[in-house]
Amino acid sequence: MGVLGVFCLVAGCSDDGSASPLQPVADNDTEVSSSNEAVANSSSSSAKPSESTTPSSESGSKTPADPTVIHEQVVITDSGAILNVTYPSSAVVFCWTEGCEAKYASSSSTAPKSSEDKIVFTESSASVEPPTVNGNTMTDNRDGQTYKVQNVGGKLWMAQDLNFKTGNSMCFGDDDANCAKYGRLYAFVAAARACPPGWKLPERNEAQAVLNDDAYPWSYSGRCKEGNCDFTEKMGFHWTNATPQEGDKNYGEKNGEIGVIIVEKEPEYAGSDDQKFFQVDEKSKFFSVRCVQE
């Protein structure tokens, strides 16, 4: 019943098997209409499924409706990151089960032009085995890579940069050898998802603890933006989950989607400047990740 109900809502099938046109979702409406509303709207429409509701051209012929539907996929991850992916679908029938389009194709209707649905999926890592911690090492069971770890402020921290491959991440200079040496660089959305189960990006207080610990080892892995990479062996940049606040470098100077990073300067390169500090920067840039155990 649930699958058929969803099919009927999206494909526009009626109780007697005849086709009925779908109604477009309002541009500012991201909720999928209920089945009762869909039936009501369908009943009030006088358009035939085989005809377009687009006004006639000068020649009197009617233009078929554009069957393309724009879907917005929203993925809510365990870490709380929300990812929006918009994709088009030109299929007349939308199915949740494999092969159902063949069964119901004869009762399908033309999809509405430029309509928009929001489909919400929850991505869970519950089936992935958490990392194995053995003394001062942690093995990421997703890919078998092992990292040094260190206790700072009562929390277990990775003492090396993460090198777990995800979308929206890269190697410095697109060179795999740099990933092996420095770890990967991540845009913020990818960074928020990259830590293994039970680990996360650090909050501000956790990040402050490692900034205060002179024994904690940083790396100078550089950064990348729009394909341009720089500062390797001179500076390191690590994502946090902190909220920007006054006192962070560049606070109030950045526009758009911004986050907070830890900046570490190689001592000789820093000279008399601060060597470690919080900085506000753009979430589209690619920085390193150190995960902290939850």
pLDDT the model gives residue 254:
85
- Together in a domain, 168 and 147: yes
Q: Which of 155, 159, 162, 154 is nearest to 136 (CA)?
A: 159
Same domain, 165 and 280: yes
Angle at 76 between CA 194 and CA 287, to 5 degrees: 30
Q: Of 123, 154, 173, which residue sits at a domain end?
A: 123
The residue ranges of the chain whose pLDDT is under 70 are: 1-126
State whether 242 and 179 are in the same domain.
yes
For residues 77 and 183, membership in a common domain is answered with no
> How many separate domains does the chain show?
2
Structure confidence by residue, pLDDT tens digits, 191-223: 999 999 999 999 999 999 999 999 999 999 999
Regarding whether 171 and 79 lie in a shared domain, the answer is: no
Of 105, 123, 141, the one marking the end of a domain is: 123
* C-alpha pair distances (Å), 198 with each of 36, 133, 206, 294: 42, 12, 15, 6
255-270 tens-digit pLDDT: 789 999 999 999 999 9
Alpha-helical segments (H) within 60-164:
100-104
Identify each DSSP E strand in 228-286 by its residue range: 228-232, 235-239, 258-265, 276-282
**What is the rounded CA–CA span in Å between residue 12 and residue 42?**
8
Helices 2-11 + 35-44 axis angle, to 10: 30
Question: Looking at the structure, do residues 118 and 164 belong to the same domain, yes or no?
Answer: no
6 inside domain: yes
Per the domain annotation, does 59 fall within a domain? no
- Same domain membership, residue 288 and residue 162: yes
| pLDDT given for residue 128 in this prediction | 84
270 φ/ψ angles, rounded to the nearest 5 degrees: -70, -35
Statement to judge: residues 150 and 24 lie in one domain: no
Residues 18 and 90 in one domain: yes
187 close to 284: Cβ distance less than 8 angstroms: yes
What confidence score (pLDDT) does residue 121 get? 44
Backbone φ, ψ for residue 205 (5° rounding): -65, -35
Structural domain including 119 reads 2-48+65-123
Per-residue model confidence (pLDDT) at position 5: 45
Residue 132: exposed, middle, or buried by beta-carbon count in 10 A (0-12, 13-18, 19+)? exposed
Kindly report whether the global pTM for this prediction surpasses the value 0.75.
no
Question: Is 107 domain-assigned?
Answer: yes
Specify the pLDDT at position 266. Answer: 97
Structure tokens at 229: 């990479």
Is there a domain that residue 58 lies in?
no
Q: What is the pLDDT of residue 126?
A: 52
Residue 54 lies in a domain: no
Does residue 163 share a domain with residue 83? no
Do 281 and 195 have their domain in common? yes
Q: How many CB atoms lie within 10 A of CB 245?
A: 11
Largest Cα–Cα separation, the chain: 80
Residues 146 and 264 occupy one common structural domain: yes
> What is the model's pLDDT at position 13?
44
